[in-house]
Amino acid sequence: MKKNIFLGILISTLAWAQVDLSVSFAPYVTYYISSIDLNTGESSLPIFTGNLSTTNYPPDSVSISIEFEIQITSEALNMDGETLVKVSTDPFWLKAPITLSNTDMTLDTREIFDLEGNKVPLKIHVDEHIDLAQAEELQNAIIQMGKLPNGSYHFLVTVFDGLNPGNIVAQEDETIQVSTPTILQLVAPGGTLADTTVNEIFTSYPVLQWESDPCTVPGGCDFFIRVAEFKPNEHASVDQAIESQTRLPLDQSQEFYPVGSGVYSFQYPITDAGDLEPGKVYVWQVKKSFGTTSGEESMLSEIFAFKVKDLNSGGTTEEGGGSSDQGLTQLETILSSSAFEQLFNPGGPLENFTPSGTITLDGVSIDMTTLYGYFTQGFPTPDSTGTTQYIVPEILSVEVEE
């Protein structure tokens, strides 16, 4: 009779005891099979880290057990939510908060320690694992690639009531789309070195654009850029040029300039970068970096070359200044054809007027390339927080001289 009463008290205590579980999953893009044993679930690298706690500590400790499962869904492999591996622990007493990782859940594990230094006995069982001999397509994919094939992987961590098997008291899960990166292509500006006469740009602050397959893990892929000048008398190829002194990053101790995660364009900066000078040729390349279970890996794009057009070059007028036709062409490039026509075409307020070739900003002389940069990228203006915003200028009035 006393045993029945005592057992009833334990069950009653566990009925209201709350177990808190918070789990973080590692943002791997590629899972190499050498890092995961599909027969036991063992991994040399952390896939998940979980923190366990409860409102009930000694003398009202809580008994729990942990289960970790990996499921796969892959249309190419004809698999829909099939379990790759499932492992679990024997019940143990939660006497203080515990941090538990999948690296603790090995067949050799006998104990771990909670955050108060208490020894916690831990025994692991393999409850289920996929038979690779029967899953022929999966086995072939693993043998050929040496990593988990592309697909949807569901990682599930479950806490069970140790005294009432099957009763779930906490659970966390994460679904990760595993897709090995294969695409990284430059879009603009530029192209092959032989086409730099065609691939001219009209600004020293271009927007660099590229394409890449999306990263399936938030924050799991980062992009970097490298820009250098191509010097015909020093470089025999774009490969030599991209390895030379860089304009971006300006710090020569950096290999590439970080531009962010999940981005596919980047505005060449006004500060913290070397100037892109008119009339010169530049090469650029993008690096994509992503995390794998074997460490960080990266892939490189091809190398594009482009030339910054020198808008100040051209013929001479009768007075020895810049060509009037050249000046009008430069203005049309900056203003756009429609705005230019409204000003200079017959009937426009500037009909028969020609540019003098002199450009000043707040009384300071600037060249045409710099002016074009302001109209394409914007003029750097700090806001109230000190953050630099780029505001594209608007033409409010035009001053002319007879």
CA dist list (Å): 266 to 102, 147, 372, 375, 397: 39, 32, 18, 17, 32
pLDDT in tens, 213-226: 877 776 668 899 99
Residue 119, pLDDT above cutoff 70: yes
Residue 13 pLDDT exceeds 60: no
- Helix, coil or strand: residue 75: coil
Q: Which domains does the chain have, with CATH numbers?
A: 2-178 (no CATH), 184-308 (2.60.40.10), 324-391 (no CATH)
C-alpha–C-alpha distance, residues 13 and 63, integer Å: 11
Average pLDDT, whole number, for the chain?
79
- Mean pLDDT score, 67-77: 85
pLDDT in tens, 302-343: 999 999 887 665 544 444 444 455 566 666 666 666 677 777
pLDDT one-digit tens code per residue, 23-48 = 888 777 777 766 677 666 677 778 88
Measured CA to CA, the distance from residue 290 to residue 222 in angstroms comes to 6
Residues 6 or more apart whose Cβ sits within 8 Å of residue 199? 189, 190, 191, 304, 305, 306, 307
